[in-house]
Amino acid sequence: MLLQDKLLTLKVIFYSLIFTVETLFAQTSTIGHFKANEDSIKSLFQTISLTRSDPEKLTLNQKIDSLFARIVRQPASFEYSFDSIRTVGHIYSPDRAFRILNWNIPLEDGTYKYFGYIQTLNSKTNIYRSFRLNDLKEEITVPENKELDANKWYGALYYSILKQNSDRNTYYTLLALQYCNLNLSKKIIEVLTFNETGKPVFGAPIFQMDNQFKYRIIFQYAAQASMNLRYDKKLKMIVFDHLSPFEQRYTGEYEYYGPDLSFDGFEFKNNLWVFHSNIDLRQPAEPNR
């Protein structure tokens, strides 16, 4: 019996080693596959940077998009960083429930086209999904009052994700930058939720401002100016530069707007982002109400 037990133990160790080696080989093979695609994407972006023709740029970008589509079908890609591609943003939600990959392509007329993917991973069910983002901002009238989805997306570059739990839902608040043209840029506060089928939904009427409820907040300002929009942990608020025209005669012409050295903010309270004006950023005091 002792000899049989030893043989059984050796057999278990042998098969465990085989499984470990096969797993490591599969992981190495997958990472190698991602790295090869990453190198191809990086090369295509470099070619785009040297290309002036819009049709050529968009054709090259179709190849980039196709490579990303192939990559994000695989659950293992959720943890792959794509660090060598500086032209592609990749940002996780605080709870790592999803990640956004996105980029833009500059066009000859000074405008930009935006592209991206959302990858979701449910830690409880281990179900992975991916969604392609389709930039149709030109077709969206009054975007401050619209609920959108992945198929009709208000394209922008996301650089921060906040998480807020409400009574009925989990809100992910996104801070974004949108280059519009040679004269105008935008900063955006966007809310992302996931519906009962797990699909992304952009926008929700939770921004309370001037006795109105908006689905998203959009700031417009001169392209040569710089606007600060960030989350302040001490104040527990989204804080941002107040924008004003450089001269009163330019009121309403946002390509002539810029920061005026005052600050406003949004505080998450009672399941809403509530607007506050004239925030004092010099000390973590209560905002003016």
Task: Please indicate, yes or no, whether residues 68 and 102 belong to a single structural domain of this protein.
Answer: no
Task: Please indicate, yes or no, whether residues 45 and 143 belong to a single structural domain of this protein.
Answer: no
230 Cβ neighbours under 8 A, 6+ residues apart: 160, 175, 238, 239, 240
Predicted model pTM: 0.86
Task: Please indicate, yes or no, whether residues 215 and 76 belong to a single structural domain of this protein.
Answer: no
pLDDT tens by residue, the chain, 289 residues = 455 555 445 444 444 443 343 333 334 447 788 899 999 999 999 999 999 999 999 999 999 999 999 999 999 999 999 989 999 999 999 999 999 999 999 999 999 999 999 999 998 888 999 999 999 999 999 999 999 999 999 999 999 999 999 878 899 999 999 999 999 999 999 999 999 999 999 999 999 998 899 999 999 999 999 999 999 999 999 999 999 999 999 999 999 999 999 999 999 999 999 999 999 887 554 544 4
Q: Using alpha carbons, select from 56, 155, 153 the residue that is nearest to residue 107.
A: 56
> Domain containing 22: what range?
1-81
Task: Please indicate, yes or no, whether residues 190 and 277 belong to a single structural domain of this protein.
Answer: yes
Distance CA 160, CA 116 (A): 15
Distance CA 130, CA 99 (A): 9
Domain final position from 58, 81, 104: 81
Judge contact between 96 and 90, C-beta under 8 A: no
C-alpha angle 188-194-196 in degrees, rounded to nearest 5: 155
Domain final position from 81, 99, 116: 81
Task: Please indicate, yes or no, whether residues 160 and 247 belong to a single structural domain of this protein.
Answer: yes
Helices (H), the chain: 2-49, 54-72
Rg of the chain (C-alpha set):
24
Domain final position from 37, 59, 81: 81
Task: Please indicate, yes or no, whether residues 100 and 156 belong to a single structural domain of this protein.
Answer: yes
Task: Please indicate, yes or no, whether residues 215 and 274 belong to a single structural domain of this protein.
Answer: yes
DSSP state of 285: P
Cα torsion at 11, 14, 20, 24 (round to 10°)? -150
Judge contact between 174 and 190, C-beta under 8 A: yes
